[in-house]
Amino acid sequence: MKKLNIGNLSISVPIVQGGMGVGISLSGLASAVANEGGVGVISSAGLGLLYRNLSKDYIQASIMGLKEELRKAREKTKGVIGVNVMVAMSNFADMVKTAIAEKADIIFSGAGLPLNLPSFLQKDSVTKLVPIVSSARAARVITEKWHNLYNYLPDAFVVEGPKAGGHLGFKDEQINDEHFSLEHILPEVIDEVKDIETHYGKNIPVIVAGGIYTGEDIKRFMDMGAAGVQMGTRFVTTEECDASDIFKQTYIEAKQEDIQIIKSPVGMPGRAIFSKFIQKVKEGQKQPKTCMCKCIKTCDISKSPYCIIAALYNAFKGNMDNGYAFAGANAFRATKIVSVKETFRSLLDEFNRAINK
């Protein structure tokens, strides 16, 4: 595999571990991936719940939690560590400011267009900014806005297709439409980014995400022009993943038909493993009484069928009766829990076998 270069960062294995919240990818998983030469990513979603022992204020606990997770990651690795910050989060600005102040290597930002992301940079900032997009148009809009307002260009793009886990940047009717498949949108984004590179004279790698599970997948998309891949689902069933063993076991036990598209209180479709909790939601049995922390800008507690941060936090802790696991389209392929080192070895072996074919 070719190295992935994002600005002055040289990533020896072009694999970015997807940021997965609440609590699924923290310092444990991120540092293990970074130690294997990839990019480890801490999810900033819901840290205020995970670190509520540090402060009763959700915003303050989130800031302190992200600082702590970055500190723990830095103790375990000298590799590249990123932070995923969703635009839809109500504490988006605080998480971005904290990641930059703590000198995270990269911020990955999606679940909306991060149009003001460069505004948080300081003169001495070293953090790279990487938007997550689902179309060439989104890449163009972000680039123009960043350049015009901040004289800054994206350091890379992640283009995420509709087979990803969690919240999807597609409408329901687009998810199974081949015109919105990763194979279709990746070349469009690459062509758009080539025009941007030519116009501005900056190298901007395109990283591909959404349903990538094997080394053969990695080769196929890199042959199409991707500079690297982002993978989340494959890293859930690792020893170092920060989720509970019960959460990981839901992946092991999942059948293909269990992985379904659900409606999220966030206002976006999401892909998750079907559970008793989801069934109860479908039957209209769930209704939050109060808002825990107003974690998402677009969530209206009076209309929401359940509190999403509570559901995801419960799942992270292993309380699957009161939560569910987000998962990519290939989660059913997981058969056992292995180490991150073994996962990288398998991916490289699969990649090399694909070359030899």
Running along the chain, 357 residues long, what does each successive block of 10 average in pLDDT? Answer: 96 98 96 98 95 94 97 98 92 96 97 95 97 97 98 98 92 91 97 97 97 98 98 98 97 97 85 93 73 65 77 93 95 97 98 93
179 part of a folded domain: yes
Q: What is the pLDDT of residue 303?
A: 72
| One domain for residues 183 and 262 | no
DSSP 180-225: GSHHHHHHHHHHHHHHHHHHHT----EEEESS--SHHHHHHHHHTT
| One domain for residues 251 and 120 | no
Q: Cα(85)–Cα(100) distance, rounded to whole angstroms?
A: 12
Nearest to 80 by CA among 63, 112, 97, 104: 104
| One domain for residues 313 and 341 | no
133 part of a folded domain: yes
- pTM of the full structure: 0.95
The helix/strand count (H/E) of the chain reads as 12, 13
Q: What is the pLDDT of residue 299?
A: 63
| One domain for residues 49 and 95 | yes
Q: What is the pLDDT of residue 307?
A: 79
Q: What is the pLDDT of residue 265?
A: 79
Q: Cα(65)–Cα(94) distance, rounded to whole angstroms?
A: 12
Q: What is the pLDDT of residue 237?
A: 98
151 part of a folded domain: yes
254 part of a folded domain: yes
Q: What is the pLDDT of residue 308?
A: 83
Domain range spanning residue 314? 245-322
| One domain for residues 91 and 136 | yes
Count how many domains the chain has. 2
Q: Cα(307)–Cα(309) distance, rounded to whole angstroms?
A: 6
| One domain for residues 105 and 122 | yes
Total Cβ atoms within 10 A of residue 225: 15
Q: What is the pLDDT of residue 295?
A: 63
Q: What is the pLDDT of residue 89?
A: 86
| One domain for residues 252 and 176 | no
**Residue tagged 């102040």 (tokens):** 101
| One domain for residues 60 and 114 | yes
In order of 100, 263, 268, 342, the CA distances from 295 in angstroms are 21, 17, 15, 35
| One domain for residues 212 and 286 | no
| One domain for residues 88 and 229 | yes
Backbone φ, ψ for residue 68 (5° rounding): -65, -40
Residue 98, domain CATH: 3.20.20.70
